[in-house]
Amino acid sequence: MNESSRFHSSDEVAWCPGCGNHALLSILKQALEELEKKPHEVLICSGIGQAAKTPHYVNANGFNGLHGRAIPPAFGAKVANKDLTVIINSGDGDSYGEGGNHLIHNMRRNLDITHFVHDNMIYGLTKGQASPTTRTGHTTGIQTEGVVLNPLNPLALAITMGATFVARGFVGEKEQLVELMKQAITHKGYALLDIFQPCVIFNKINTFQWYKEHTFRLPESYDPTDRATALQMAFEWDNGIPLGVLFKEDRATYTESIEVLREGPPLVDRELKPDRVVPFLDDYK
């Protein structure tokens, strides 16, 4: 791993050898380097899970919160300081399962934050239960007869819920993934990047090899601004899973839509005195 990176953290990485998270982490640092970000300008938020340990492994501001609640603190922090580059790194269970409601509504908000979902299609930290993206028929210690729930399609969900940047990457496609991360971070608005990240211990079906064989890169000619095509692409699976930016849209961000945030310095820089309340007392006189 790149120890000379200014984003290098001295904390010991607790992931299993061979886990896809290692590559993801180094690609994330590379993307931040290439964007010339500085550690104090970046905030990494997460919930709980293997993926959610990421804030510890990046030398940047970090908020490692509760399982399923990665997005709300990220939202609060960005509202407080619109100058921060806020990135969420969390798992598929955390983001799509326990935190599903926040996912939906923050896509609608379109705050300028970036969401990297480490999608290993399994619950890693809790030892191998089905996640919302685990495919039907996949057997686990709980789903002994195979998953019967229809898998959640995060990209289709995002496209229909108002996410303004929807993409998928794979840790095995390093160069593409660096670019996708950079695009997601620089995108104005809520950006969802679902990243295939093999869990070598608990997902014996969707292995590195499996992802290699089942994914393909979207061609250069692909137009990500067409919602209908994007939706169609989001449903591609059996005949190959597309990697790349599926959908992109220009829409006012939350910050741009809320006058209090749009105008003036970040909230955190505003000087406030108790007498700001005085004009409002008149309403009660």
Residues engaged in binding ligand SF4 (CB under 6 A): 15-16, 19, 21, 50, 120, 124, 199-202
**Nearer residue to other proteins within complex by CB, 62 or 224:** 62
| Residues in contact with ligand TPP by the rule CB under 6 A | 48-51, 67, 91-94, 118, 120, 122-126, 131
Which residue do the tokens 């028929």 mark?
A: 137
Q: CA dihedral defined by 48, 50, 52, 57, rounded to 10 degrees? A: 140
- Residue 49 contacts other proteins per CB under 8 A: no
**What is the residue-wise DSSP string for 181-238?**
HHHHHHSSS-EEEEEE---TTT-SSS-HHHHHHHEEEPPTT--TT-HHHHHHHHT--T
Count other Cβ atoms within 10 Å, centred on residue 22: 17
| Contacted by 267, from ligand SF4, other proteins, Mg ion, none: CB < 5 to 8 Å by type | other proteins
Using the Cα atoms of residue 196, residue 175, residue 188 and residue 74 in order, give the sign of their dihedral: positive
Q: How far is the CB of 152 from ligand SF4 (least distance, A)?
A: 18
**Considering only residues 127, 212, 251, 270, which one is a binding residue for other proteins as defined by CB under 8 A?**
270
For residues 95 and 123, the answer to whether their CB atoms sit within 8 Å is: no
| Contacted by 182, from ligand SF4, other proteins, ligand TPP, none: CB < 5 to 8 Å by type | none
- Residue 267 contacts other proteins per CB under 8 A: yes
Identity of residue 272: L
Give the CA angle between residues 221, 225, 228 to the nearest 5°. 100
**Nearer residue to ligand SF4 within complex by CB, 166 or 199:** 199
Task: Report CA 32 to chain centroid distance, whole Å.
Answer: 15
Q: How far is the CB of 252 from other proteins (least distance, A)?
A: 15
Residue length, the chain? 285
**Considering only residues 48, 185, 245, 246, which one is a binding residue for other proteins as defined by CB under 8 A?**
48
- Residue 102 contacts other proteins per CB under 8 A: yes
Give alpha helix (H) positions in 38-139: 71-80, 92, 100-109
**Nearer residue to other proteins within complex by CB, 114 or 206:** 114
**Nearer residue to ligand TPP within complex by CB, 65 or 172:** 65
**Nearer residue to ligand TPP within complex by CB, 70 or 191:** 70
Give the binding range for Mg ion (CB under 5 A) out of 68-76, 114-122, 169-177, 203-211: 114-122
Q: How far is the CB of 119 from ligand TPP (least distance, A)?
A: 8
Residue partners of 164: CB distance under 8 A and separation at least 6:
110, 187, 188, 189, 190, 191, 248, 249, 250, 251
Task: Report CA 114 to chain centroid distance, whole Å.
Answer: 6
**Nearer residue to other proteins within complex by CB, 78 or 187:** 78
**List of residues contacting Mg ion (CB under 5 A):** 91-93, 120, 124
Residues that bind other proteins (CB under 8 A): 11, 14, 38-41, 43, 45, 48, 53, 55-56, 59-66, 68-69, 71-81, 83-84, 101-102, 104-105, 258-261, 264, 267-268, 270, 272-281, 284-285
